[in-house]
Amino acid sequence: MTGNDRIRIVIADDQELIRAGFTMVINSQPDMQVVGQASNGAQAVELVERLRPDIVLMDVRMPGMDGLTATGRITACAHGNGEGTRHTRVIILTTFDLDEYVMSAINAGASGFLLKDTDPETLLASIRTVHQGNAIIAPTATKRLIEKMMEGTLASPGAPASDDGYVDPELATLTEREREVLVEIAHGLSNQEIADRLFISLPTVKTHVAHILQKINARDRVQAVVFAYENHLV
């Protein structure tokens, strides 16, 4: 595999040991390469502008420009790229005590989030998933995160969660099977896990997911999770 074929990654974290650990894991893979490291958001933005990586692993709390601001600037630039250029996607690195920042990161255009203590296999699989144009969300953090959002402690990117019984009209456009798939997405299952649980093929799951995102006007799986919780499907 040539350098041009590898997934090019920038790591942004103010802790050198974390950057070194992630770099070692990532560079052990034949299809990945860490092309830059940043200790704050401003450095991350500069590296992305200069190197055009595929993925940024972005910490939230960093000195100077934080990860949320940097994510917004990076995704805004990505949306403005012309054809043939790399579109950089951001994966937020978080911990349980940073739940309140995650929805802001999603609204800023992040393709999902992982816990910093995630195992290497999950980290690598998540990078590949996001590189393929999908989004990821840490299953162990999903329930607590969305529960806090529903309690009103977090801002939602969609229609407000309804204490008054409001339901998004898009929900009525989903078929029964699409609702089942959406519930499994909200539980944090991968496409293959959904296929296994519902006894359907992987291509069928992918088709359902594409239809769901289109019908509920969700950018990615992360927003689909929010939609499911807002409409009390989970």
Rg for the chain (alpha carbons), in Å? 18
25 lies in the same domain as 97: yes
* 0.85 surpassed by pTM: no
Q: Flag whether pLDDT at 177 surpasses 90.
A: yes
Backbone angles phi, psi at 23, to 5 degrees: -60, -45
Lowest mean pLDDT among 18-32, 96-110, 179-193: 96-110
CATH number at residue 204: 1.10.10.10
Band of residue 153 on the pLDDT scale cut at 50, 70, 90: very low
pLDDT at residue 41 in the model: 95
Pair type for strands 89-94 and 32-38: unpaired
Q: How high is the pLDDT of residue 38?
A: 97
- Predicted pLDDT at 129: 86
Is residue 71 in a domain? yes
Answer whether residue 146 shows pLDDT above 60: no
**What CA–CA distance (Å, rounded) separates 56 from 90?**
5
Report the C-alpha gap between 3 and 92 in whole angstroms.
25
In CATH, what number is assigned to the domain containing residue 105? 3.40.50.2300
